[in-house]
Amino acid sequence: MVMKSGNTGRGRRARRDPLYAAIDLGTNNCRMLIARSVADGFHVVDAFSRIVRLGETLADGDALSEVAMARTIAALAVCARKAARHGVERLRGVATEACRRAANSAAFFDRIEAATGLRLETINGEEEARLALVGCLPLLDPTARRALVFDIGGGSTELAWLDCRAGPPYRITASTSLSCGVTTLTERQGDDLVGRATYEAMVAHVRGLLAPFEARHRLAPVIAEGGVQLLGTSGTVTTLAGVHLDLPRYDRTKVDGLCLDFDDVELVIDRLLGLDIAARAAIPSIGPERAEAVLAGCAILDAIHRTWPVGGLRVADRGLREGILMNMMGFGGVLVDAIAPGLGQR
């Protein structure tokens, strides 16, 4: 499956094909893709992304704040206008960890619908992991026997353990959703100057959260045998890739699909440790919006690698939105079997 941008060359017939839209409302970001189905994937017509920090107060309580909801509704209004302007025929909008945790998410969804006409749904961590996996599958190594696919979000981290030996449809044999993402971990450590000791404490905390999943499913012995691919999708991994490449500004064409050795990842982490927020923000691939939480994301990635030392990482600048689109277009079931009941336990 491929994702394309720009004119597909299908001319006037393409313009009559139905348009699909996928909205991913996360703890930090509101994102949308509008696309048209083509024979081997989809063609992107329009995209939108805005940092809304929806879950910024959840560490202090169980409700979304008025300010965060207002920011998010304003972003979703842009999505609604884009969908209307393009004549989108099928749209699915999903919300993830912040709305899973918030006591007022149902009332929030009613406000969204009244203001924008969009009706969102909250998906569980198991479905989030599956859809992110579907979106990333074009980057799967065809020679891999197994793959560990992860998505580091603002409020949660999803992992899926994939059996690739029989070919598509691939089988998810285990998955989990941790209530720990870059926002929640940043709020937990609470210091803009992250030194080595603070960083190691964050890594240890995440490793503790991963330990029950490893104990239950025993990934480590399989990984030690080789033939396992680590595939990551998130702002964390794309940011690390941009810093590693020393890009003067972010360039998706250079990042999506990049293979990173963990020695290079460690060099980037060493560079960032000890820098304050202003210094991290001055790095072009990070900027002000990601400066606060980037080291928390690094700690989650580091914990994954220390628990399951694959050696290298393939970076995906794609994920949940692409998975939603491919599912709506009928590709999802062809690529990934539905997860067996009970495997998505934390």
Q: Measured in whole angstroms, how far is the alpha carbon of residue 260 from the centre of its chain?
A: 18
Distance between CA 219 and CA 343 in Å, rounded? 14
User: Given a cut of 90, is residue 8 above it in pLDDT?
Assistant: no
pLDDT, residue 337, reads 58
Domains along the chain with CATH numbers:
2-123 (3.30.420.40), 132-322 (3.30.420.150)
pLDDT, residue 340, reads 39
Task: Find all residues with CB under 8 Å of 215, minimum gap 6, and list them.
Answer: none
Q: What pLDDT band is residue 333 in, cutting at 50, 70 and 90?
A: low
Across the chain, mean pLDDT equals: 88
Cis amide linkage into residue 248, ω under 30° from 0:
no
pLDDT, residue 148, reads 96
Over residues 62-72, the mean pLDDT reads 95
Which residue(s) pair with 230 in the sheet?
Answer: 148
Q: What pLDDT band is residue 16 in, cutting at 50, 70 and 90?
A: low
List, for residues 309-322, the tens digit of each pLDDT value.
998 999 999 999 99
Question: Which residue in 67, 10, 57 sits closest to 36, CA to CA?
Answer: 10
Calculate the alpha carbon distances from 60 to 1, 57, 73, 119, 187 in Å: 42, 6, 22, 27, 10
Structure tokens at 153: 């979000």
pLDDT, residue 159, reads 94
CA atoms within 13 A on the CB side of 317: 15
Q: 3-state DSSP call for residue 6?
A: coil
List, for residues 157-179, the tens digit of each pLDDT value.
999 999 998 878 888 999 999 98
pLDDT, residue 346, reads 34
Question: Which residue in 195, 211, 185, 196 sits closest to 293, CA to CA?
Answer: 185
Q: What pLDDT band is residue 305 in, cutting at 50, 70 and 90?
A: very high
List, for residues 89-141, the tens digit of each pLDDT value.
999 999 999 999 999 999 999 999 999 999 999 999 888 888 988 899 889 99
User: Given a cut of 80, is residue 2 above it in pLDDT?
Assistant: no
Distance between CA 273 and CA 252 in Å, rounded? 25
Long-range contacts (CB closer than 8 Å, 24 or more residues apart) made by 30-35: 30/54, 30/72, 30/75, 30/76, 30/79, 31/321, 32/79, 32/82, 32/83, 32/321, 33/321, 33/322, 33/325, 34/82, 34/83, 34/86, 34/88, 35/3, 35/325
* Helical (H) or strand (E) element with 306: helix 294-307
pLDDT, residue 26, reads 93
**Can you give the pTM of this predicted structure?**
0.83
Which residue(s) pair with 93 in the sheet?
Answer: 23
pLDDT, residue 345, reads 38
CB of 135 closer than 8 Å to CB of 326: yes
Distance between CA 147 and CA 209 in Å, rounded? 20
Over residues 207-225, the mean pLDDT reads 97
Of all residues in the chain, the percent with pLDDT exceeding 90 is 69
Amino acid, res. 224: A
User: Given a cut of 60, is residue 11 above it in pLDDT?
Assistant: no
List, for residues 241-291, the tens digit of each pLDDT value.
999 999 999 899 999 999 999 999 999 999 999 899 999 999 999 999 889
Least confident of 13-17, 271-275, 295-299, 322-326: 13-17
Place of tokens 């149902």: 106
Question: Which residue in 201, 159, 187 sits closest to 304, CA to CA?
Answer: 159
User: Given a cut of 60, is residue 15 above it in pLDDT?
Assistant: no
Q: What pLDDT band is residue 57 in, cutting at 50, 70 and 90?
A: confident
